[in-house]
Amino acid sequence: MPQEQTVKPTQGDEMIRPSGLQPVFPEEARCPEIASPFGSHTRYDGSPRPGFQFGGYHGGIDVSLAEGTLLLALAAGTVAAKGEGGQLEGIYLWLRHSPQDTGLTYWVFSKYQHLESHSELAIGAKVVAGQVVARSGKTGTVGGHYRSAGYPHLHLTTRKNPNGEYQIMDSGQLAAEAPLFDPLVIYHEASLKSAGAPRREKTVAIPYATPDGQLWPKGTRVVWPVACRPR
């Protein structure tokens, strides 16, 4: 099985290594794809990332989207926190997913950033896989590199820990022993469990939800955070 990145604390920051996983999106549907992968040194437009954050590596995945695009819970879980940060963060939403929710052996925390507006869901609310949880936007991207136009997209961060314990700091960061990891690892490990046999390929078949709420493949516990439209 491909190994996710190693995350080590260094001077209050984290160093990130890419997982090496490559997504394979379904032929029968059109899915918004990754514009800047986990661990990338560059933004979607090819420009270098600033070195002051994560050593210049990307701490999540970016999916370019029109403002107002519906964003989906990547698995069942609960709303852990929501708020608004500054540049590079914008309006955000944290979801917390138990091993029972995902079928994985650890707790997952997923953070949706640059939202158009605050999620209408209350903290503590339960969600199901594929449920609409927010809308994409460009908050936290206007000014700086992207200037006045900003960059509408979803930045998805995932962290994991063994017990689900956490605290959200005023900055919007997760205060827990919960290292960053490539969101693609979730889909890869979930597919291995459903297949019941080890695989070493670095490609990941992406499960998804359609706009009418159907999940594919049937029985999947995890889905892409944006709906895929049938071709």
At 147-193, the pLDDT tens digits run 999 999 999 999 999 999 888 887 777 776 789 999 999 999 998 87
- C-alpha span between 210 and 161 (Å, rounded): 30
Mean pLDDT, residues 63-89 taken together: 96
Residue 138 sits at φ, ψ, to 5 deg, of -135, 15
Residue 16 scores a pLDDT above 90: no
Predicted pLDDT of residue 176: 64
H/E element holding 185?
A: helix 184-195
Residue 4 scores a pLDDT above 80: no
Residue 228 sits at φ, ψ, to 5 deg, of -110, 135
Mean pLDDT, residues 55-67 taken together: 93
Its CATH class, for the domain covering 60-222, is mainly beta
Q: Per-domain residue ranges for the chain?
A: 60-222
Mean pLDDT, residues 15-40 taken together: 93
pTM comes to: 0.90
Other Cβ atoms within 10 Å of 44 Cβ, number? 14
Residue 30 sits at φ, ψ, to 5 deg, of -105, 115
Describe the chain by its helix, strand, coil percentages, rounded to 5: 10, 35, 55
In the structure, what pLDDT confidence band is assigned to residue 15 with cuts at 50, 70 and 90? low
Predicted pLDDT of residue 87: 87
- C-alpha span between 112 and 72 (Å, rounded): 10
Task: Give the range with max mean pLDDT: 47-56, 129-138, 183-192, 200-209.
Answer: 129-138
Phi-psi region of 11 (alpha: psi -120 to 50; beta: other; left: phi over 0): left
Mean pLDDT, residues 95-106 taken together: 97
Predicted pLDDT of residue 187: 96
User: Are the CB atoms for 81 and 131 separated by under 8 Å?
Assistant: no
